[in-house]
């Protein structure tokens, strides 16, 4: 592992520098800076002592800090001490608690019911026998009905070794069940899924770059190679970033020793660094496709940019987020931290992929990104290249044109596949999820007996048959979505919410919706990783990428034959 831990992301950097107690004279670089600080101090004292009403000093200080940061860049922010634990959990990829994924489901009276979505593998809840679909109705003898998300975390998370008793209603079991659970450290998996798409194509999907990501990635890559993988899809869609070191280490597995992965330049000499690949990568010569979208940010863009600039991988999808700034976190008095931009990073060709921003205007920054992604969704990479100034054009190792100043433009842009109006009506209200929840409530025991220990059999053989499809249509009718000449069942509906669709519209949407139902069921029977092999059958961008292997193979062949020429 590298000795320098550089951290980047739409998330947090966990590098702390203690400001409290440092002598002011040692930190100020000039009399002008000291005078400015004195001005801030004087204003604070005047407001605290002389304002017409009592002021909250802490709130006043936080407002001043936020005001300073707002005038810098969109990614320098203040993090209150109450948020630090959640930030650390996210990037350390672990927390201490009972080990469940959960959802809060309103009952008929609108009261939240805490439902177990999945029991996390290897966690305390799995050890005592909690199951997907269990409803936690009490914690330590006190009702859990009506819990908010904050109350769930407050009551179920806690230091390892402490105990908590949960009372559960289980579908198909008449009596309530009680479980005493000893809290423990629970790993948060940052690898969403790894599976064989076909006999020679493997796919690895990462949801962030946290402390454990590189190890998870290597393990998955080795297992796929053992399963006969000849070509790899690395899915970085919706991956907002994280530790720069993890992005560097993963990129290293694809690149030849000595190749630049990323460089960064900042105000201080310590923030000027260049990172290069080492020897012994696990996937240095074989065909590689990287999937990206508008939520692929920061560390994801480091990986995509390095592999694109070295002509090592075919980048497929949509323009990435465009975050080329590096943050570090500095602890200040009271336990809060400042996440401060200390450098800009550059891809191997020298590109800064940060999208432009106006100081202090975060709303405009994020809206402009959304507008940009929307406007170029139907364009080709070539047309986008033709629209930018020559000063923003760079060349890859083989001479291909790429651009700076606005995210990573994929080699092949795949427009968003539009959903039917019927599918949007169902997904918009999460009715497919609600139907599967009810299915689990009524048939959990039967489903577990049939499929519980046979994940591969379920993924390969389970189908939404005619009976289950009709049950879904009846369910939709009970939720005011009528297909064809179906009759509305249940209480009389409010006509303003009633939606009518034809049999033809159902026919056009059926494959998509049946696949989505199977994916939701797979998630509840197993875990989130089981969703993706199912959904992959209807994943438009993924399926488009599978038609592009000839290009990826050409890149891999050229990369291997050309060898690495030092820049």
Active site residues: 298, 309, 323
According to DSSP, the residues that pair with 136 across neighbouring strands are: 114, 168
Phi, psi dihedrals of residue 387, rounded to the nearest 5°:
-90, -15
Measured CA to CA, the distance from residue 133 to residue 525 in angstroms comes to 9
Vertex 20, ends 16 and 24: CA angle to 5°?
115
Q: Which residues are CB-neighbours of 428 under 8 A, at least 6 positions away? A: none
Tokens 């690949």, located at residue: 277
What string of DSSP letters covers 503-523?
HHHHHHHHHHHHHHHHHHHHH
Q: In this structure, are strands 393-395 and 337-346 parallel, antiparallel, or unpaired? A: unpaired
C-beta separation of 247 from 239 below 8 A: no
Measured N-to-C along each axis, helices 503-525 and 421-428 cross at an angle, to the nearest 10 degrees, of: 40
3-state secondary structure of 135: strand
Provide, for the chain, the percentages of residues in helix, strand and coil under a 3-state DSSP scheme, each rounded to the nearest 5. Answer: 40, 20, 40
CB 97 within 8 A of CB 77: no
């Amino acid at each position: 592992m590298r000795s320098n831990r550089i951290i980047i992301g739409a998330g947090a950097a966990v590098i702390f520098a203690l400001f409290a107690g440092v002598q002011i004279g040692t930190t100020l670089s000039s009399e002008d800076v000291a005078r400015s600080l004195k001005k801030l101090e004087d204003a604070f004292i005047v407001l605290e002592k002389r304002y017409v009403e009592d002021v909250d000093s802490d709130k006043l200080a936080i407002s001043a800090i936020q005001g300073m940061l707002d005038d810098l860049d969109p990614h320098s922010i203040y993090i209150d001490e109450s948020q630090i634990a959640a930030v650390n959990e996210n990037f350390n990829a672990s927390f201490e608690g009972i080990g469940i994924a959960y959802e809060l489901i309103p009952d008929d009276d609108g009261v939240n019911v805490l439902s177990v979505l999945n029991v996390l593998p290897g966690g305390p809840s799995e050890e005592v026998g909690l199951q997907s679909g269990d409803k936690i109705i009490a914690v330590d003898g006190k009702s859990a009905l009506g819990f908010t998300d904050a109350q769930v975390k407050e009551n179920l998370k806690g230091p390892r070794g402490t105990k908590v008793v949960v009372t559960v209603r289980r579908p198909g079991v008449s009596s309530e069940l009680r479980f005493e659970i000893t809290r423990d450290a629970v790993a948060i998996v940052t690898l969403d899924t790894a599976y064989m798409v076909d006999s020679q194509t493997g796919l690895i999907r990462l949801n962030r770059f946290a402390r454990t990501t590189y190890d998870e990635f290597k393990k998955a890559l080795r297992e796929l190679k053992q399963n006969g993988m000849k070509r790899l899809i690395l899915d970085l869609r919706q991956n907002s970033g994280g530790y720069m070191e993890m992005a560097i280490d993963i990129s290293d597995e694809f690149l030849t020793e000595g190749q630049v992965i990323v460089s960064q330049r900042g105000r201080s000499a310590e923030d000027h660094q260049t990172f290069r690949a080492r020897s012994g990568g696990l996937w240095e010569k074989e065909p590689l496709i990287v999937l990206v979208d508008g939520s692929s940010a920061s560390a994801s863009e480091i990986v995509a940019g390095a592999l694109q600039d070295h002509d090592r991988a075919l980048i497929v999808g949509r323009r990435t987020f465009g975050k080329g700034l590096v943050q570090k976190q500095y602890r200040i008095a009271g336990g809060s931290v400042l996440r401060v931009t200390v450098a800009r990073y550059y891809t191997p060709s020298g590109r800064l992929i940060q999208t432009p921003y106006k100081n202090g205007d975060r709303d405009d920054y994020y809206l402009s990104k959304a507008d940009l992604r929307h406007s170029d969704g139907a364009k080709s990479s070539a047309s986008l290249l033709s629209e930018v100034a020559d000063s923003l054009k760079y060349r890859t190792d083989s001479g291909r044109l790429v651009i700076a100043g606005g995210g990573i433009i994929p080699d092949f842009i795949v427009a968003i596949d539009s959903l039917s109006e019927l599918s949007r009506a169902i997904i918009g209200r999460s009715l497919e999820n609600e139907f599967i929840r009810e299915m689990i409530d009524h048939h959990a025991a039967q489903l577990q007996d049939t499929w519980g220990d046979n994940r591969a059999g379920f993924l390969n053989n389970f189908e939404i048959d005619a009976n289950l499809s009709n049950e879904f249509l009846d369910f939709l009718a009970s939720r005011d979505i009528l297909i064809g000449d179906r009759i509305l069942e249940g209480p009389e509906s409010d006509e303003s919410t009633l939606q009518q669709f034809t049999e033809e519209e159902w026919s056009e949407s059926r494959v998509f919706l049946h696949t989505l139902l199977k994916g939701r069921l797979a998630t509840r029977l197993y875990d989130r990783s089981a969703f993706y092999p199912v959904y992959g059958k209807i994943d438009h961008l993924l399926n488009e990428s599978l038609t592009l292997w000839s290009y990826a193979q050409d890149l891999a062949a050229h990369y291997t034959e050309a060898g690495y020429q030092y820049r």
